[in-house]
Structure 1
Amino acid sequence: MALRVQILMYDGVEEQDFIGPRDVFGHAALTGGGAVEATLVRPAGPGDVTCFFGTRVGVPSAWEPTGGDLLIVPGGGDLLVRDAGVHRDLVRAQQAGVVVAGVCTGVLVLAAAGLTEGRPCTTHHLAKADLAARGGKVIDARVVDDGDLVTAGGVTSGIDLALWMVTRECGASVAARVESVMEYEQRGVVWRREG
């Protein structure tokens, strides 16, 4: 069965935060024999979003919080940090067994929903103090894997997070093929809870 990935889109989303993971999961689907299905989703339903640098993207699907195995929350603006409805849906997704992952400042959305409280996590270096103030146990690593909560720090860290998730869920051989096609090697430390 394929890993079902949803990438949450919204006005102000940082382009690299979502397109890096989208590329990784797209290549994993091709090189892994359909091991991954990735979809761009929007809380308000299908429609266009305007990204941080003005790129307009058509999003084909509505976000169904329990409709995937992995949810990627990219960073960018602070629109979702103030959206209580999105926060409730993030909690519902995680309670239903969805792995929730934040890229860069997207982790602050997870913090606003209470998902990082007392848990190992990371974010962009300029937002680490904010994450700690919201109760996160900030780890200095590129990717922090705490089981059903996975976070990554830095704008390009979404690529590394996605490659780690492909390794974790689909196997190292699929991740290695994706790295070869993309001519990119994972960088930085992946912190993972032992045991």
Structure 2
Amino acid sequence: MERRTFLRASALSLGLTGTATATAATPLRVQVLMFEGVEEQDFIAPVEVLGLAGKLSNGAIRTTLVSTDRPRTVTCTYGTKVDVPNGWSPGEADVLVVPGGGYANPGGPGVHPLIRDRSFLRGLAESDALKAGICTGTMILSAAGITQGRNATTHSAAKADLAAQGATVINARVVDDGDLITGGGITSGLEVALWLVERFAGAQVAQRAETVLEYERRGTVWRS
């Protein structure tokens, strides 16, 4: 069973299985990374979209909040406190959503403590999960070397830094580079999450989620 789970996670992360591969029997396991100073909109949009899509698909998508190490309560950018029930478990995720926050304040909470955490970055780079960077969460992926030589995007204020660190910056709302998906801007978590739903649970589930949310996707999904 563990071997089959590993192979399935690897296929999903590489995009080898195409669209509509997630089912109630073999759900897409999504972990959303939480940390001190995380931007509220960055993580709550994917949680809302993916949670709704999970219900609409009879459990084909399962979403869990995780911290970098252990269960904890985190304080977000604007003071919202969130109880995070689990530590990050790389072997139990097909997708890891990495939100941003605090990029303009290198000495404060947000992405910079993770960017400086070499142990965490090594684990991130070694994980087989598909990584989905939201806004400046992409800069955490960049620090781990994951965007090096890859197509990616991030918040407009960080695009120059992303390019300087070796990524090919694409000016699109969502950039799908196979086992790396990135979104530009704080609200892009809506589009990234809806694209994950379409890619792995099918266009019908994504469209139904849009209808319930009364939200129409913005921009273009750039695919390699």
Instruction: Return the TM-score normalized by structure 1.
Output: 0.96
Report if aligned partners of 1:11, 1:50 keep a CA contact under 8 Å in 2: yes
1:80 maps to which residue? 114
Deviation (angstroms), 1:54: 1.1
Distance 2:124 2:204 in 1: 31
Report if aligned partners of 1:12, 1:79 keep a CA contact under 8 Å in 2: no
Among 178, 181, 187, the alignment partner of 2:218 is: 187
2:59 maps to which residue? 34
Structure 1 residue 57 corresponds to structure 2 residue 82: yes
Q: How does 1:19-168 map to 2 (within 5 A)?
A: 19-76=44-101, 77=110, 78-93=112-127, 96=128, 98-168=129-199
Among 22, 38, 58, the alignment partner of 1:13 is: 38
Deviation (angstroms), 1:65: 1.6
Distance 1:52 1:182 in 2: 24
Deviation (angstroms), 1:79: 2.1
Number of paired residues?
Answer: 190
Deviation (angstroms), 1:185: 1.3
Report if aligned partners of 1:46, 1:61 keep a CA contact under 8 Å in 2: yes
Structure 2: gaps of 5 or more residues: 1-25, 102-109
Deviation (angstroms), 1:44: 2.0
Report if aligned partners of 1:31, 1:174 keep a CA contact under 8 Å in 2: yes
Deviation (angstroms), 1:38: 0.1
Instruction: Return the TM-score normalized by structure 2.
Output: 0.83
Deviation (angstroms), 1:85: 1.7
Deviation (angstroms), 1:47: 1.0
Deviation (angstroms), 1:161: 0.1
Identity of aligned residues (%): 56
Distance 2:49 2:209 in 1: 7
RMSD (CA atoms): 0.7
Among 209, 214, 217, the alignment partner of 1:178 is: 209
Distance 1:83 1:66 in 2: 20
Deviation (angstroms), 1:66: 2.2
| Per-residue CA distance 1:99-155 (angstroms, 9 max, x = gap) | 011000000000000000010000001110010011110000000000101000000
Who wins on radius of gyration, i.e. which is larger? Answer: 2
Distance 1:162 1:73 in 2: 12
Distance 1:83 1:175 in 2: 35
Letter of the structure 2 residue corresponding to residue 88 of structure 1: R
Letter of the structure 1 residue corresponding to residue 119 of structure 2: G
- Provide the secondary structure at the position in 1 that maps to 2:92: coil
